[in-house]
A and B are shown apart, each in its own frame.
Chain A
């Protein structure tokens, strides 16, 4: 469980978006830190030496125009980028509590199994992708099954909790045996969120999770993300600047594979330091 901090602690620390002048900086834990992270597709350098850090149990948004490398960037954070043909990564990603000691560990250290990294970091994709051959129940349980959990009572409990967390339980509790793909697009995406949450990841990566959904489904997923704050570290890539402003406390602006600016969401949207950020958020390009 990622719930090793008291609610009070979260209230004090999780609200960095108020004005960016949180004085309790020293109490914040860093869940994830990248150091000079670069990624390539063949010769195409799509992510250029990005260094940033993400606070634990915070919501961190990545914004930027299409093709700016933000999706590729978060796909490096669970070592999924390297699965593509001709894909390459360099640099370090330090994640809290991945290693055996529970300390920070570089997931790109040689000898680290990408599979074990992905089991600790959940991912939700742009297009809802429930497993078509599996029922709603089995979709949510799939991560647990991969982790060799077989006790029916445990599975049932976790599936229910996860579906409730994903605000889908009431809609599907009577048809858990139906195929996951029989749901609507928005429901499928929440099913995928439940599937990711079922294994209790420390970090949840979301790659434009609402871009294929209608406004009502989008709103539900945004609510969900806001509810997850304080329980799990969320990194969300989004095209939608209002969405970033609504749900995140920290925002990073990417352009052409480079990190232009990162800071508390409120400041990024009200007083950006870089002129490119300002131009983008005021809609002058992108």
Chain B
């Protein structure tokens, strides 16, 4: 399959062309490494001052020259997670609808619209978030969520128990190695506090939840378009195999379409996640910009991208260096997510084509 043509040594045209191609390929790699070096250089002061403790530090206080990135890491991960939790089912569902259920003309028309949505600049989504979504969140959605899932609801208690049960085995391992000393009751109290605080507090409109929703709406077009492409690659013969076996339409979607396209669908969701992690403008506009780890999804927060956008303009010295360190960390997280996505897709696809 992989035939590599050798560049004929004597032919000047071939040699020049080969040189140009090689130059551009290496230039990409150089650019990547150059960015890494530049960021490391700029953040050197902060790296020397804090080291890895930078990521655990919860205080970010420029006037006092105190810098810890934990609030932003939490903000980025939480808002992206909310975005993916909303966007993944919506996008995959839409893609299945477009592939399987909608008539062909409607399908291509809607697919076209979806791709148009992907072209809207993020600042426009931000404006919409501030002036349309935030009031709706404040007046309708958040009061509703607080009532059904807020403090002292069955949902919060159940979630707290579930989280305790899920994390307890890990805490045992932590105990074993002495890195994390916590008893079951302490763990339970902590988890309960988190669960009951999730939808607590005054509905402000601007905050973590709203930024997650805006991010979800921003990545839905991308993830939908990619998922649709992935589903289109499932051969009709596989679908017919399921139908011929007496599968209903839903069963066919499950065993022939989704199972076959599983790897690609996960890949498209993770590409969306990557976009959500790095998104800056829209998030900065709706997240509320508060440099503290939020206790509630209603509270204002700050992401790694938004803190850089907010503060780089009036920063210098250790502050600037710390911002660069946040940027470097974001770079690494994005890299890690991509790497993880590739490994996951490869794992899911193993042995698929022999």
The answer to whether B255 touches A133, judged by C-beta atoms less than 8 angstroms apart, is: yes
A195 (CB) vs chain B CBs: closest residue: B245
The answer to whether B259 touches A118, judged by C-beta atoms less than 8 angstroms apart, is: no
Top 8 A-B residue pairs of the complex, sorted by shortest distance between their CB atoms: A133-B259, A119-B246, A123-B244, A118-B246, A129-B241, A129-B237, A182-B354, A179-B351
| A119 contacts across to B, CB distance below 8 A | 245-246
CB-CB under 8 A for A118 and B255, given A125-B237, A132-B352, A182-B354: no
Alpha-carbon distance A184/B354, docked complex (angstroms): 8
The answer to whether B262 touches A133, judged by C-beta atoms less than 8 angstroms apart, is: yes
| B189 at interface, CB cutoff 8 A | no
| A72 at interface, CB cutoff 8 A | no
CB-CB under 8 A for A134 and B259, given A80-B240, A115-B248, A199-B245: yes
**23 CB-based A-B contacts, threshold 8 Å:** A83-B240, A83-B243, A115-B246, A115-B248, A119-B245, A125-B244, A127-B237, A129-B238, A129-B240, A131-B241, A133-B255, A133-B260, A133-B262, A134-B259, A142-B242, A142-B245, A146-B245, A146-B246, A146-B255, A178-B351, A179-B350, A182-B354, A184-B354
Instruction: Determine how close the nearest CB of chain A comes to the CB of B98; give it in whole angstroms.
Output: 15
| B235 at interface, CB cutoff 8 A | yes
Instruction: Determine how close the nearest CB of chain A comes to the CB of B308; give it in whole angstroms.
Output: 41
> Which chain A residues in 115-157 approach chain B with CB under 8 Å?
115-120, 122-123, 125-127, 129-134, 142-143, 146-147
Alpha-carbon distance A183/B238, docked complex (angstroms): 16
Instruction: Determine how close the nearest CB of chain B comes to the CB of A173; give it in whole angstroms.
Output: 18
The answer to whether B255 touches A183, judged by C-beta atoms less than 8 angstroms apart, is: no
Alpha-carbon distance A122/B242, docked complex (angstroms): 11
Interface string of B232-258 (1 = CB under 8 A from A): 000101101111111110010001101
| A147 contacts across to B, CB distance below 8 A | 246
| A43 at interface, CB cutoff 8 A | no
| A181 at interface, CB cutoff 8 A | yes
Of B235, B243, B255, B353, which one neighbours A142 at CB under 8 angstroms? B255
The answer to whether B245 touches A118, judged by C-beta atoms less than 8 angstroms apart, is: yes
Alpha-carbon distance A128/B240, docked complex (angstroms): 11
Number of interface residues of A (CB under 8 A): 35
Instruction: Determine how close the nearest CB of chain B comes to the CB of A265; give it in whole angstroms.
Output: 26
> Which chain B residues in 239-287 approach chain A with CB under 8 Å?
240-248, 251, 255-256, 258-260, 262
B258 (CB) vs chain A CBs: closest residue: A133
| A192 at interface, CB cutoff 8 A | yes
Interface string of B91-123 (1 = CB under 8 A from A): 000000000000010000000000000000000
Alpha-carbon distance A179/B248, docked complex (angstroms): 23
Instruction: Determine how close the nearest CB of chain A comes to the CB of B154; give it in whole angstroms.
Output: 32
Alpha-carbon distance A83/B244, docked complex (angstroms): 10
Number of interface residues of B (CB under 8 A): 25
B247 (CB) vs chain A CBs: closest residue: A146
Instruction: Determine how close the nearest CB of chain A comes to the CB of B254; give it in whole angstroms.
Output: 10
CB-CB under 8 A for A181 and B353, given A129-B238, A131-B259, A132-B238: yes
Residues of A with Cβ closer than 8 Å to B? 78, 80, 83, 85, 115-120, 122-123, 125-127, 129-134, 142-143, 146-147, 178-179, 181-184, 192, 195-196, 199
Alpha-carbon distance A179/B255, docked complex (angstroms): 14
Instruction: Determine how close the nearest CB of chain B comes to the CB of A166; give it in whole angstroms.
Output: 15
Alpha-carbon distance A273/B258, docked complex (angstroms): 51
- With most chain A CB atoms within 10 A of its CB, the pick from B235, B245, B262 is B245
CB-CB under 8 A for A143 and B245, given A129-B235, A131-B260, A134-B255: yes
CB-CB under 8 A for A118 and B243, given A129-B235, A132-B238, A133-B255: yes
| A178 contacts across to B, CB distance below 8 A | 351
B248 (CB) vs chain A CBs: closest residue: A115
B249 (CB) vs chain A CBs: closest residue: A115
| A120 contacts across to B, CB distance below 8 A | 246
Alpha-carbon distance A83/B350, docked complex (angstroms): 31
Of A122, A134, A179, A183, which one neighbours B244 at CB under 8 angstroms? A122
Of A117, A125, A181, A196, which one neighbours B351 at CB under 8 angstroms? A181
Alpha-carbon distance A25/B248, docked complex (angstroms): 39
The answer to whether A179 touches B352, judged by C-beta atoms less than 8 angstroms apart, is: yes
| B242 contacts across to A, CB distance below 8 A | 131, 142
A117 (CB) vs chain B CBs: closest residue: B246
Alpha-carbon distance A185/B235, docked complex (angstroms): 16
> Which chain B residues in 326-354 approach chain A with CB under 8 Å?
350-354
The answer to whether A85 touches B104, judged by C-beta atoms less than 8 angstroms apart, is: yes
| A130 contacts across to B, CB distance below 8 A | 241
Alpha-carbon distance A131/B237, docked complex (angstroms): 10
Instruction: Determine how close the nearest CB of chain A comes to the CB of B31; give it in whole angstroms.
Output: 37
Alpha-carbon distance A133/B255, docked complex (angstroms): 8
Alpha-carbon distance A158/B266, docked complex (angstroms): 33
Alpha-carbon distance A147/B350, docked complex (angstroms): 29
Of A115, A133, A179, which one neighbours B247 at CB under 8 angstroms? A115
Instruction: Determine how close the nearest CB of chain B comes to the CB of A209; give it in whole angstroms.
Output: 13
Alpha-carbon distance A142/B354, docked complex (angstroms): 21
The answer to whether A192 touches B246, judged by C-beta atoms less than 8 angstroms apart, is: no
CB-CB under 8 A for A181 and B354, given A131-B255, A134-B259: yes
Alpha-carbon distance A118/B260, docked complex (angstroms): 22
Instruction: Determine how close the nearest CB of chain A comes to the CB of B264; give it in whole angstroms.
Output: 11
Instruction: Determine how close the nearest CB of chain A comes to the CB of B109; give it in whole angstroms.
Output: 16
| A142 contacts across to B, CB distance below 8 A | 242, 245, 255
**What 7 additional pairs, Cβ within 8 angstroms, besides A83-B243, A181-B352?**
A115-B246, A125-B244, A127-B235, A131-B256, A179-B351, A179-B352, A199-B246
- With most chain A CB atoms within 10 A of its CB, the pick from B235, B241, B262, B354 is B241
